[in-house]
Amino acid sequence: MLIRIATRKSALALWQAEHVAERLRQLDEIDTVELVPLSTRGDEILDRSLQKIGGKGLFIKELEVAMQQGDADIAVHSMKDVPAEMPEGFCVAAVLDRANHADAFVSSHYDSLDALPASARVGSSSLRRQAQLRMMRPDLVIEPLRGNVNTRLAKLEAGDYDAIILAAAGLERLGLQQHIRQQFATEQMLPAAAQGVIGIECLADRADLRSVLGKLEHAETARTTAAERAVSLTLQANCQSPVATFATIAGDRLQLTALVALPDGSQSLRDSLEGPAGDAERIGRQLAALLLEQGAGELLEQAAAADG
């Protein structure tokens, strides 16, 4: 079987696609794996916030078109970039074992968030990160930051920011972990749903592919990902909403925590729920319902209005 992988052209996306390719090449059913690098609107439009141009789905639309047109068989994504509601005709066929889930503090001059002086400039375009940064340090000046990992690091080195916040997993995958000054504990900064998880997408009707790709599925990560994405889906949150969620499994029990906040950090709701790991999606829906009862819907409406 030949598998063609649609991927973005960034260094991190190519690393992730090649990582999946290596895993696929180890399977008896696979003869050849090829990468099909594509440019996406999300990569091309860097002068406006993702929320303004349509959300992180812009990073995967072109890859899905390539699959629909028969130019690629699968697409490889950072699962935190994949909308909670999959487009009709597509599915996530497998998720690999989760890498580092944490957000990382990166700075040329300061060792931690606490070490930043008052009114320091911190780069992040994520409303989730902005909200939690402001909850910890309301004095900071949070400024937009777009581009791939190396572009963001270059802007930091140029002195545009005193610090930036990046996903630890991305830095580690690119061999750039030396830039990490501090990793945030989940008590400080909850990650995005499925942060650190690589997912493989294909057409839902490709049963031949799905059976092969399923061999790469990591069972525990599949459950934590299902729980976290169920929170986002039930809250009707998009990839840029100020929503954070993180699940862990110990034995046969799943512990899930979620946060909804205003981007300015002035209001937030946080709650947790535990249950059988086999009920991951249900636990996610229940936790989201609890947050909605507490007013999460109103916070998300306010956040959307403020950004719009």
The two tokens of residue 126 are 């994520």
Contact 166, 96 (CB under 8 A): no
**Residue 279 CB-density burial (10 A; 0-12 exposed, 13-18 middle, 19+ buried):** middle
* Active-site option among 43, 73, 81, 103: 81
Question: Is 81 a known active-site residue?
Answer: yes
Coil, strand or helix at 177: helix
Sheet-wide strand order for 268-276: 243-250, 253-261, 268-276
Composition of the chain by helix, strand, coil, percent to 5? 40, 25, 35
- 8: alpha, beta or left? (left if phi > 0; alpha if psi -120 to 50): beta
Contact 291, 267 (CB under 8 A): no
H runs (alpha helix) in the chain: 11-25, 41-44, 50-53, 61-68, 127-136, 149-157, 168-173, 207-213, 219-235, 280-293, 296-307
What is the secondary structure of 195-224 as a DSSP string? TT-EEEEEETT-HHHHHHHGGG--HHHHHH
**How far is CA 269 from its chain centroid?**
20
Active site (catalytic) residues: 81
